[in-house]
Each structure stands twice: as C-alpha cells, then as structure tokens.
Amino acid sequence: MAFFPKEKIVCTENMPEKVEKNDLHLEIGIEQSGVSFVLQKEKKWKYDISLDGDALTRKNEIKRALYLVLQEYTNKTLPWGSLTGIRPSKIAYALWERGFSEEEIVLHLQKEYFASKEKSKLCTQTAKTEWDILKFLDLENSYSLYISIPFCPSRCFYCSFPAYLILQWEKRLEEYFSCLIQELEYIAQKFRHKKLYSVYVGGGTPTSVSAQYLELLCQKIRELFPFEEVKEFCVEAGRPDTINEEKLLVLKKYGVNRLSINPQSMKEETLQLIGRKHSVQEIYDSYFLAKKCGFEQINMDFILGLPNESIEDIAYSMSECKKMNPDSVTIHSLAWKRASILTIGQTYLNQFQDWQMHHSEKTMQMVHQAMQEMDCHPYYLYRQKNMEGNLENVGYSKKGKESFYNMLIMEEKHSILAAGAGASTKLVFFPENRIQRLENVKDVGHYIARIEEMIQRKAQVLGNL
C-alpha cells in the first residue's frame, strides 16, 4: 500500500482465475531456500533468506525482500523503508535498553529496514528521550488510566474516534456517567495494590460536557484512586469551542495538570472545510484563557495534509503556534481512516473530489525546523495506515513537559486500564512478556445497556491478578 497509495490491493492464497489487463500481479513464493517473486508472470527475483529464525525474524526477512522488489519495480524509495509497524520507536527503544549507541541504532535502522538517515535519526532520538525518562519508573508495578468521554460538538471529517454528537446525547449523560463510575470503581478496587502513574481523559472531547459532569468525574477519580504517584492528569480539551472558564477552574481544582487544545490548522477556511465548526479566534481565546487559569502544560495538535492547504498555509499555522508558544505540539499526518466522513465521501459519494491534498517530506522538515525554533524536541512517534505521504505523527515537547501517558502508550511497557465507551484496555503481563487487549463496545447506547458485561470482561482476565 505504501508503494501504490490508494490502489486496491488484494491478497489471495491461490492464483485468481482472472487477472485484468491493467492489474499488477505479484506472486510471492516461500520456499525452503528463500523467497521468490514473479511479476506479471514473467520477471522473477529470488532472495536467499534464512527460514530458521522465529516468526518475527522470518516476517522481517520476507518484508525486506519484498521492499527491494517493489523499490526496483516502482523506482521509489520510502522514507521508512520496509518498516510498516505503528511504533517504529519500539525497535530503537529496545536497542537503547540493550546499551547500543546512537550511531549503532541509526545504522541498524538504515541497514535492516532501509529507513532513510533522517527517519532513522528521528526514531533514535525519540526513543532516547523516552528511555531517559521511562527507565526510572517502576513500570511492572504500576498502571495508567484512560477514561473515554466520547462526545463532541460536531464530527470532524477525518475523525474515526468514537465521537457522538453531544446535543443528541445530553439526556443520557447521567446514565453514561453512572456506568462509567461503576467501571472506575471496579478498576480502582482491582488495582489497589498497584501505583497509578497517569490519568488521561480523552474521547471525543471531554470538555463537551458541562462543568457539573466534569466535576462529578474528577471528584470520583480523586476519591477512588491514590494520587501520590500520579505524574500526569491530562484532559483532552481538543475543541476550543467547548472550553470556558467554569470548566477550566473545575479541572484545575482537581489537579488536572495537562490540557490539550487542538487547532489542527490556523487557516479559517480549513477549519470550516473539515467540519470543526469553530473559528481561529476561538483557538487563541481558549488557549490564553487556559493560561490565565494557571495551566502550565498545554499541548496543541496540528494535522498536515489537510484539504487545500499549501506548504505556505502550514508555515503560517506554525508561525501562529510559535506566537502562542504551547509546551508541547503533536504533529499528525492526515490518515485516511475507513470510518471517517472524508474516506466515505471520497470512496462512495464522489464528494470532495476537487480537494487538493498536499503533504511531503519537505513539509515535515519545515515543521521540524519550526519545532526546533520553539525549543521543542521529538519525544514520541507513531505511524498509521493510509497516511498522506506515508509519513508519521510526532509529539514534540519542551524539556520536562513531555507527556508520560503518550510515551507509556507508545512503548507498551505498562498496563493501561481503560473505562468508557470505545475504550481499549492494554494489559502487559511482564513474566510472559505478553500484551492482552480488552475492548469496550463503541456505541454509547450499547455501553450503557451492557455495562455489567464490560466489567465482567475485565474480571475474566484480571480474575487472579
């Protein structure tokens, strides 16, 4: 998919009966002595690879060979080489843990995965920041908490999160919060012997609900969980139009120490085009209001590759960002998520066809430069499927303002207990070096109706812990 963006790719075990004239057909054969590739039934490549290693090693060997074939055929190189995983920094992190030097890790990523020098350096430096912070934590005997408030004032076109329209759910919020609190009570009781390191309230946009509901939630969190070891209590206030002084003061009162206020772009037309339904002015207003209320760690998210945005538009967003000077900035590359209005619109309705999407390595470098000028360094990194330009998302931060939760979730070395509709729990079993995921149902109505089953799902896995 990275070599043939937006083409339909079909994988079959057997030869399809009919191959259309314009289709590209690649047959991959795994044999004892190696792997062979037959393209359009003619050209053949053969790579000797060892099939002795474990499944992961074999998979990587086959991917490397496939990468070389497609590179030759398309005459393209990919910035991340054969790396297709969501968390490339995990590879670099593991090498830091094992005592490799920066130079050795960069070389390893270039040689083993054909990643470019720039991406190898970015990945290595990001993992170093994570390693320098996380190595002092007792990850085995601690956990973090994720709470989902899946409501928003409107749905952004690129969104694939659980985000239900707040206006349609207002009457059922009482039921939702009551179920959420039941689930939190279960988690607090079950994990009472572990240290809580971070709390992340996400969604949706949690600040879509009233100050009264925020107070109810924060009060319960503080009542149920021990806060002595908590390093971060973060609330997503992503949509500037959901923030007011009353809500901010409630969050401050209960010890929220990190907020995320997300412009995505500082171009008025873009905000309207992508369904944000707030103005650029509201971004400034809510950011400075949060500053006035005493928040000392404010993050901002931006997306690159939004419709009709040129590199100059992104440069403008960055210069406005610099003026506001948030403590951390997360730069996303637009991802075409299957469930988003954007993808559905382009695929099925032929809408948005005249939109121009621009994103490239050059934009990424310009943004990286802007972040350096703000004294922000990369501290977490991840990739997604179907991203514009096949690039990455990078979290930048000023020194000492890195988000613990973001680093912990990326490196998968720590259990994250999640509550609420659409929330996904990740349990790390240290002795077996195993991760188990537990998903809650996404639909808010189903979550309310099936809350006992959601708790029971956790109880079945956590039974003896």
Residues that bind ligand SF4 (CB under 6 A): 152, 155-156, 159, 161, 163, 203-205, 238-239
Whichever of 90 and 332 has its CB closer to ligand SF4, that residue is: 332
Min dist CB 153 to ligand SF4, Å, is 8
Whichever of 238 and 420 has its CB closer to ligand SF4, that residue is: 238
Min dist CB 275 to ligand SF4, Å, is 8
Min dist CB 284 to ligand SF4, Å, is 18
Whichever of 393 and 415 has its CB closer to ligand SF4, that residue is: 393
Whichever of 161 and 197 has its CB closer to ligand SF4, that residue is: 161
Whichever of 124 and 340 has its CB closer to ligand SF4, that residue is: 340
Min dist CB 345 to ligand SF4, Å, is 15
Whichever of 125 and 242 has its CB closer to ligand SF4, that residue is: 242
C-beta of residue 242 within 8 angstroms of C-beta of residue 279 = no
Whichever of 67 and 161 has its CB closer to ligand SF4, that residue is: 161
Whichever of 65 and 163 has its CB closer to ligand SF4, that residue is: 163
Q: What is the separation of C-alpha 389 from the centre of its chain, rounded to a whole number of angstroms?
A: 17
Residue 212 CA: distances (Å) to CA of 16, 184, 208, 314, 413: 59, 18, 11, 37, 35
Name the residue whose CB lies closest to ligand SF4.
Answer: 159
Dist CA 139 CA 407 (whole Å) = 12
Min dist CB 9 to ligand SF4, Å, is 27
According to the 3-state scheme, what is the secondary structure of the chain?
Answer: CCCCCCCCCCCCCCCCCCCCCCCCCEEEEEECCEEEEEECCCEEEEEECCCCCCHHHHHHHHHHHHHHHHHHHHCCCCCCCCCCCCCCHHHHHHHHHCCCCHHHHHHHHHHHHCCCHHHHHHHHHHHHHHHHHHCCCCHHHEEEEEEEECEECCCCCCCCCCCEEHHHHHHHHHHHHHHHHHHHHHHHHHCCCCEEEEEEEEECCHHHCCHHHHHHHHHHHHHHCCCCCCCEEEEECCCHHHCCHHHHHHHHHCCCCEEECCCECCCHHHHHHCCCCCCHHHHHHHHHHHHHCCCCCEEEEEEECCECCCHHHHHHHHHHHHHHCCCEEEEEECECCCCCHHHHHHHHCCCCCCCCECCCHHHHHHHHHHHHHCCCEEEEEECCCCEHHHCCEEEEECCCCCCHHHHHHHHCCCEEEEECCCCEEEEEECCCCEEEEEECCCCHHHHHHCHHHHHHHHHHHHCCC
Min dist CB 205 to ligand SF4, Å, is 5
Whichever of 124 and 205 has its CB closer to ligand SF4, that residue is: 205
Task: Decide: residue 402, CB within 10 A, 0-12 exposed, 13-18 middle, 19+ buried.
Answer: buried
Whichever of 129 and 264 has its CB closer to ligand SF4, that residue is: 264
